[in-house]
């Protein structure tokens, strides 16, 4: 039986209103929390297909685990969504508020409560982005690319069939000084040079002096590969793309969950003994 849970927010406007009411002193306290050396778990998780997926019971259990251990858990959403569409997830009563959001496939890094950029990290990425207009103009020579009409920042995302991607396309992207990523058989992202989920996570761990042994990354598609293949502990949830399993076989730091989404994340937390799950 599903349990009725009251959401923290009821609309995007209520989220934006709460942001405007955060005093500077509280923002300072939020940032100071990131530097704490007592983190038992830094959960860096993809959203769609991962944190937002799984059984109701599993999602509720993961939410409760995070909220009952607020003083020792840092929650980082690492997603292909733009910040504005990440806000939509906050309306889900099974979604706890993250401490940090890495969005746009690693091209944007913001505070999860104020949505303000973490400038020391964001500037490194933004300085390598030539601008949407420049990229859009260069891509106009490929009529088979269909730009996604979703909120996004520091990147452009297109829909394209895999068999339409050519060397010429990759050459133009490279000529722009950009990086590209094809995932889920349809998404072609153009990103700032060296931008990726893995790079953003590395910058975050370094900037806040987090213990890499306590970091767990979780994902389900190839756009999660860059963070799942880093030096941290990682979990590939059972509903993931087969190619992800192929590229990242089980080893001491890589766990293949037998359950989907949130249920699989819970399995990994227990497997790596990062938190006690009752």
Give pLDDT tens digits for 50-75. Answer: 999 999 999 999 999 999 999 899 99
> What fold is seen in the domain 12-125+196-271?
Rossmann fold (3.40.50)
Is it the case that residue 47 has pLDDT exceeding 60? yes
In the chain, where the domains are located: 12-125+196-271, 129-192
Is it the case that residue 2 has pLDDT exceeding 50? no
The two three-digit tokens of residue 125, written as one number: 């990425």
Task: Write the pLDDT tens digit of every residue in 197-213.
Answer: 999 999 999 999 899 99
What is the predicted pLDDT for the residue at 278?
72
Measured over the CA atoms of residue 218, residue 75, residue 226 and residue 103, the dihedral's sign is: positive
Looking at the chain, the number of H-run helices and the number of E-run strands are 11, 11
Is it the case that residue 7 has pLDDT exceeding 60? no
Is it the case that residue 274 has pLDDT exceeding 60? yes
Measured over the CA atoms of residue 195, residue 197, residue 198 and residue 199, the dihedral's sign is: positive
For the domain made up of 129-192, the CATH class stated in words is: alpha beta
Task: Decide: 204 and 109 in contact? Cβ < 8 Å.
Answer: yes
Identical fold between 12-125+196-271 and 129-192? no
What does the alpha-carbon distance between residue 101 and residue 116 come to, in Å, rounded to a whole number?
Answer: 10
Write down the pTM of the prediction.
Answer: 0.84
What does the alpha-carbon distance between residue 267 and residue 235 come to, in Å, rounded to a whole number?
Answer: 9
Average of per-residue pLDDT across 134-138: 97
Average of per-residue pLDDT across 43-55: 98
What does the alpha-carbon distance between residue 51 and residue 257 come to, in Å, rounded to a whole number?
Answer: 13
């Amino acid at each position: 039986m599903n349990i009725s849970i009251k959401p923290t927010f009821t609309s995007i406007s209520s989220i934006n209103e709460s942001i405007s009411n955060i005093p500077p002193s509280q923002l300072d306290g939020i940032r100071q929390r990131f530097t704490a050396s007592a983190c038992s778990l830094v959960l860096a998780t993809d959203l769609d297909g991962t944190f937002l997926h799984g059984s109701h019971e599993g999602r509720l259990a993961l939410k409760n685990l995070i909220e009952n251990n607020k003083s020792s858990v840092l929650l980082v959403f690492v997603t292909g969504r733009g910040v504005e569409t990440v806000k939509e997830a906050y309306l889900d009563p099974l979604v706890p508020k993250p401490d940090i959001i890495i969005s746009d496939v690693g091209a944007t890094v913001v505070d999860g409560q104020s949505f303000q950029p973490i400038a020391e990290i964001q500037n490194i990425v933004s300085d390598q982005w030539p601008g949407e207009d420049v990229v859009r103009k260069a891509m106009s020579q490929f009529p088979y690319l269909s730009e996604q009409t979703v909120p996004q920042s520091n990147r452009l995302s297109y829909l394209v069939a895999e068999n339409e991607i050519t060397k010429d396309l990759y050459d133009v992207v490279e000529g722009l000084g950009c990086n590209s990523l094809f995932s889920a058989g349809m998404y072609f992202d153009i990103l700032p040079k060296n931008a990726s989920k893995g790079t953003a996570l590395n910058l975050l761990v370094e900037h806040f002096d987090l213990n890499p042994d306590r970091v767990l990354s979780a994902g389900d598609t190839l756009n999660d590969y860059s963070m799942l293949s880093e030096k941290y502990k990682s979990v590939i949830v059972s509903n993931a793309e087969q190619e992800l399993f192929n590229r990242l076989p089980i080893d001491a730091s890589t766990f293949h969950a037998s359950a989907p989404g949130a249920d699989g994340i819970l399995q990994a937390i227990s497997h790596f003994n990062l938190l006690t799950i009752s």
